[in-house]
Every structure is written in structure tokens, then in C-alpha cells.
Amino acid sequence: MVTYIELTDTEIIKRVLQGEQALFAQLVQRYQQYVFTLVGRFTASREDAEEISQDIFVKAYRSLADFRGEAKFSTWLYTVVRTSCITFLRKKKLDTTSLDNERTFLQLESKESGFKANMIEQKSRHAMVNAAIQLLSPDDSQVLTLFYKGEQTLEEIGRIMGLDPNTVKVKLHRARNRLKEKMEKHFSYAVQELHED
Amino acid sequence: MRYRNYTRINHLTPGLQNEPEFYTFNANRMNTEDTNHDTPHITMEDRLWDYIDGLGSPAEQSAIEALIAANQEWLRKYRELLDVHQLMTSSELDTPPMRFTKNVMEEIARHHVAPATKNYINKNIIRSIGAFFLSLIAGLLIYCLSQFKWSGSSSSRMVPSYDLGLDKFDYSKVFSSLPVILFMLISVILGLVLLDLYLQRKKQQVS
């Protein structure tokens, strides 16, 4: 009987650095959803998100020797995600001085047009939540995604975003309030219907 | 137990609408009763979020549980925040296309892992360059000081005397020349740009 033992991130990285390039695919499969979701917070276009996500993994592979193991691999990877997304926004010649600004994100595509009808049709809670998150600024959606989906602590998020953990905590609180406001504004009656179901 | 909290969603908590400056976090507020009647919901919300996130000490967690059990306002707010929390935990990750991993692996096949930066940036070289410049500055300083005529005076202080000829120097010629004026103008503009960047970064961090 063959027992499959899942390698840890550190073990995979060590073996990739020793020449087993194919093992990197395990890291890609492990983190592709997280990276793709995070990148999706910076761009509305799925094609752009796919291209950026691929570039991120290639960059991560090329810089693998610089991963010192002091933090989790996911924390290091998400830092690469953030810098790559900021570079992407700069190339699109958008104002990146404040990723807290919803206007920055809305310049990419009009986020608030037409989605409401689609979400009502889907009547899916997670679809509505994802749509509401898409309406937030990149910083807000990123901090929410890193905290709830990326399994990062406040200190780790601070390291990724270059902020103090207390500042991250404040940002998280504000992001949750803004998410609540978005849900109230766009989905209050639909969510009420869901509750009544 | 199902509860219909979304009927309450349209009743926004007073004082929280469009007031981002309300959301200031104070980790040191450990009072069991919120006595700040001007902004009662800020402290309550922060503490409830800490409770929901599992942060804070066991004593604080117990205190919050007691408040939720005994106080209707706390219970209402807790349910409201818990709904938002559950919304986020129930959200799903986006899935990239099926070929994503294969595309990535095809791309990295064309690349190599770059050597670690610590292997090709030798810190000893950087230290040597720093030491060279420091010794150069120290040498110049020692040379300049040795040129002074240290002479004793009626007072006990040693007063160096050195005739720099500053009184013969015509300052007006320096500041009337075009290159100097242009240089000063560019320096001022660059200084203001740097100051602006620094202040914007500070503002970003605070927000």
C-alpha cells in the first residue's frame, strides 16, 4: 500500500532548489486559488487576473532562493502578490498612492453596473459576498481576503502590506464595516429573502 | 437558532455613517462598562470584534460574554457583527482555469532559480567601501584641525585662530550667478517633492 505523504512548503522549496523543478507544481496547486482570489481584488478582468497570477508564480519560482523561511511561505508569496498587483496598477497608469481609494479600483472597470441583476438571479450568498467584496477598495478587499481566506495573522498581514499590526487591525475593522455597508446598499432585500427561505 | 438580523441592516448604527475617523482602535480600553457616551459604539465594536476573532485575554472574553448575555444593546451589536463575520467565512475562493498549473510549469521550465542575493552581494565589500569613506572624512578632519593655530589666551579656553578670509569674500557674486540660482531652485523643488511623498506615505499609513 502506497502512503501519500504531503510535503510541507519548506520541504518542497528545499527539493526544488536542489533541482526537482516539477515539485513546484504542488506549491502552485496549493496556493493558486488564494493568489487568484487576491489578484482578483485588484482587477476585475479575469484574463488579467490569470496572467498576473501566472507571473506571480514565475517570479516566486525565480526568487525561491531568497525565501529564508523566517515567515510562512504563504506570507512571502502574498507579498509578491501585492507588489505585482501594485506594478500592474501602475502600468495601467492609475493612482496607486492610495489603494484605500475606491475610485482607483472603479477606474479599471465599472463595478457597479449590471452586477446587481446577476447576483439576484444567482441568489447565492457567496456570490453576493464576493460581489460586495469586489466593490471595496483593493486594500480593504485584500485585508479581508488575507485574514479570512489567506489564514494570515495580523502580524503577517502587516508584513505583507508594510503596516503595523495595530494599523492592520483598524483597517480590518473598517473593511468589515464597509463590506456591511455595501451589502446593505446593494443586497439588503435579496439577503433578507435568503434568510426567509 | 435562526434570527433575522438583516431586517436590522437598514437601520445603520447612529454615528457610524460615513465617518471613517470614528474607527479608532484603542487596545487599552478594558472597561467592562462603556462610559464614553459620545461614541459608545466604537469601543463596543472593537471589543466585540476582538471577541469574535478570538483575540484578547480569557478574562476579556469572559467579560464580553457576560455583557452579551446581560445587555440587549451588546447582544444586538454582537449578532450584527457576527453576521458580517459569517458572511466572510462563507465566501469562497475564486478558482483559476484548469490549465493554470500547467501554464505556470511550462513558463518556469524556461527559467532558472536565481541565486540568493546574499550570495552575490558581498557585505564585506560594502563594509570596506564604508570604511574607506569614513577614514577619508576622518583624515580630512584631522588635517583641517591640524592647520589651526591653537593658542592660549587670558581665559582658560583654547581658542583656535585661522584666517579664512571670509570678510574679503564677495557673497553677492555667488548668489547672482545663474547656475547657482538654478541649482537652488531645483533643490527646493526636489525637497518639496520628497516632503510631499513622505507626507502622503504617512497619511496612507494612518488611514
Backbone angles phi, psi at B39, to 5 degrees: -130, 70
From first to last of the 207 residues of chain B, give the pLDDT tens digit.
433 333 333 333 444 334 333 333 333 333 344 444 444 455 788 889 989 998 888 998 999 999 999 999 999 999 988 988 888 887 788 899 999 999 999 999 888 777 666 666 678 888 888 999 999 999 999 988 888 777 655 555 555 666 666 666 676 766 778 888 888 899 999 999 999 988 888 877 665
pLDDT at B87: 80
Please indicate whether, in this complex, the C-beta atoms of A28 and B105 are within 8 angstroms of each other.
Answer: yes
pLDDT at B103: 92
Taken in order B28, B33, B39, B42, the sign of the CA dihedral is positive
| pTM beyond 0.80 | no
H or E stretch including A15? helix A9-17
pLDDT at A113: 45
More confident residue, A49 or B121: A49
pLDDT at B159: 56
Least Cα separation, residue B3 to chain A (angstroms): 8
Percent pLDDT > 90 in chain A is 40
Query: Cell numbers 490549465 correspond to what residue?
Result: B99
| Residue from A73, A173, A37 nearest B43 by CA | A173
Counted across chains A and B, CB pairs separated by less than 8 A come out at 144
Judge whether B199 is closer than 8 Å to chain A, CB to CB.
Answer: no
Please indicate whether, in this complex, the C-beta atoms of B23 and A170 are within 8 angstroms of each other.
Answer: yes
Lowest mean pLDDT among A83-92, A103-112, A148-157: A103-112
Closest by Cβ to A177, choosing from B6, B23, B206: B23
Which chain A residue has the Cα nearest residue B205? A163
Which chain A residue has the Cα nearest residue B11? A184
pLDDT at B144: 87
Q: Which three cell numbers stand for residue A154?
A: 495580523
Judge whether B99 is closer than 8 Å to chain A, CB to CB.
Answer: no
CB atoms within 10 A of CB A184: 17
A contact residues 14-53, partner B, Cβ 8 Å cutoff: 16-17, 21-22, 24-25, 28-29, 32-34, 36-37, 40, 49-50, 53
As a three-state string, the secondary structure of B152-193 is: ECCCCCEEEECCCCHHHCCHHHHHHCHHHHHHHHHHHHHHHH
Taking CB atoms and an 8 Å cutoff, what residues of chain B touch A130? 91-92, 94
Least Cα separation, residue B132 to chain A (angstroms): 29
pLDDT at A144: 92
Least Cα separation, residue A55 to chain B (angstroms): 8
Least Cα separation, residue A36 to chain B (angstroms): 6
pLDDT at B146: 87
B contact residues 77-96, partner A, Cβ 8 Å cutoff: 80-81, 84-85, 87-96
Residues in chain A: 197
Q: Which three cell numbers stand for residue B181?
A: 540660482
Q: Is B53 exposed, middle or buried (0-12, 13-18, 19+ CB in 10 A)?
A: middle
pLDDT at B180: 84
* ipTM of this complex prediction, to 2 decimal places: 0.74
What are the residues whose beta carbons fall under 8 Å from the beta carbon of A85, sequence distance 6 or more?
A38, A39, A42, A43, A52, A138
Q: Which three cell numbers stand for residue A119?
A: 447576483
Cα Rg, chain B, nearest whole Å: 33
Q: What is the pLDDT of residues A146-173, one digit of tens each?
A: 999 888 999 999 999 999 999 999 999 9
Query: Cell numbers 498549473 correspond to what residue?
Result: B101
Please indicate whether, in this complex, the C-beta atoms of A129 and B24 are within 8 angstroms of each other.
Answer: no
pLDDT at B14: 42
Least Cα separation, residue A109 to chain B (angstroms): 19
Helix-, strand-, coil-residue percentages of chain B, each rounded to 5: 60, 5, 35
Least Cα separation, residue A11 to chain B (angstroms): 16
Closest by Cβ to A65, choosing from B4, B25, B114: B114
Lowest mean pLDDT among A35-49, A94-108, B51-65, B134-148: A94-108
Average pLDDT of the segment spanning A137-145: 90
Please indicate whether, in this complex, the C-beta atoms of A130 and B81 are within 8 angstroms of each other.
Answer: no
